[in-house]
Amino acid sequence: MRVLRVSDAHSSGHGHHHHAPGPDADRRWLTIALALIAGFMVVEVVAGVLASSLALLSDAAHMLTDAGAIALALFAARVAARPAAGRFTFGFGRAEILSAQVNGAALLVLAGVIALEAARRLADPPEVEGGLVIAVGLLGAGVNLGAAWALGRAERRSLNVEGARQHVLTDLYASLAAATAGAAVLLGGFDRADGLAALFVSALMLRSGWSLLRDSGRILLEAAPEGIDPDAIGRALAAVPGVVEVHDLHVWEVTSGFPALAAHVLVRPGDDCHAARRALQRVTTERFGISHVTLQVDHAPAADRLLEIE
């Protein structure tokens, strides 16, 4: 016995909406944040060398990764703005996701280097100029606040922009940690405070790097976007009047803020496939916020054509 599905392919409806948020809108604020971070990073490196402060140098290294993240975000935003062409039918939006992957990996490597140096300094702490560390740490906190404000003004919800903003906020905490270490050295003579502050910075970098790798990895592996349940979508589509079956349902994220959905839907014989597709698209857009939808809508086979027995 062989069971065959003989579909009366009356209509295939495809709804396409390629309107992902434009990356151009973020460039101004990314440029301002990059100028603030890169400028102060040079100041912090010089101060860290003069004060023999690993906390300041590790904070400067973190600022370097911040600057790299923002620079990559700027470059990726420029690439992502290019229209779809040739073999890149979805455009270049995932250039931003690739830059997030590079930035996350760099954070993990740099965190390991700083942690090793911090451990060495805890065993043999050098003399640290506490007053200079306090001044530069507090100034760095102010710069990070300004950069975080600029990134917060970006119009688009992007993994790159949000990742850069989170890195700057992490660096804010690192600057405060460096200033605290300087105070401990200046007021209490606790030389190991500098190494402990560097370990704290390293832990923050590990957390940020892992978060970026995890979130960008989900997009590259085409997992369903955070907060969207494919099973719930399937049930909602199947509940639309006239729908007999929903299968081959795929929900993924092309790039940050650009969810997409594709499915094959069977409706009752004789129903209007085009009307059913429009109803299904209203469900995905209004209930789940997914406007890029590709639906193949066909008639379900009539009962007397479902089975063919050999």
Q: What percent of the chain has pLDDT over 90?
A: 20
Which of 38, 42, 66 minimizes the C-alpha distance to 170? 66
Given pLDDT bands bounded at 50, 70 and 90, which one contains residue 3? very low
Cβ neighbours of 27 (radius 10 Å): 15
The torsion defined by the Cα of 116, 120, 126 and 131, in degrees rounded to 10, comes to 30
Higher pLDDT, 305 or 62: 62
pLDDT of residue 175: 77
Band the pLDDT of 303: cuts 50, 70, 90: low
Read off the pLDDT of residues 52-109 as tens digits, 9 standing for 90 and up: 777 677 767 767 777 877 787 778 777 767 776 777 777 777 777 887 888 788 888 8
2-17+225-308 and 23-220, same CATH topology = no
Highest mean pLDDT among 62-71, 121-130, 219-228: 219-228
What average pLDDT does this structure show over 246-266? 90
CB atoms within 10 A of CB 40: 25
pTM of the model: 0.70
Token pair belonging to 116? 């090793």
Q: Is it true that domain 23-220 has CATH number 1.20.1510.10? A: yes
Region 1-26: mean pLDDT is 40
Work out the average pLDDT over 29-52. 83
Measured CA to CA, the distance from residue 6 to residue 4 in angstroms comes to: 6
The pLDDT value given to residue 309: 39
| 2-17+225-308 is a CATH 3.30.300.30 domain | yes
The answer to whether the CB of 171 falls within 8 A of the CB of 144 is yes
The whole-number pLDDT of residue 190 equals: 81
**So what's the pLDDT on residue 157?**
59
Higher pLDDT, 304 or 286: 286
- Section 11-21 average pLDDT: 43
- CA 211, CA 199: separation in Å to the nearest integer? 18
Mean pLDDT of the chain: 78
pLDDT of residue 267: 92
For 165-207, write each residue's pLDDT tens digit: 777 777 787 778 878 887 887 887 787 887 888 888 888 888 8
Whether the per-residue pLDDT at 19 is higher than 90: the answer is no
Distances, alpha carbon 41 to alpha carbons 111, 117, 156, 248, in Å? 17, 19, 26, 51
Q: Could you tell me the residue ranges of all domains in the chain? A: 2-17+225-308, 23-220
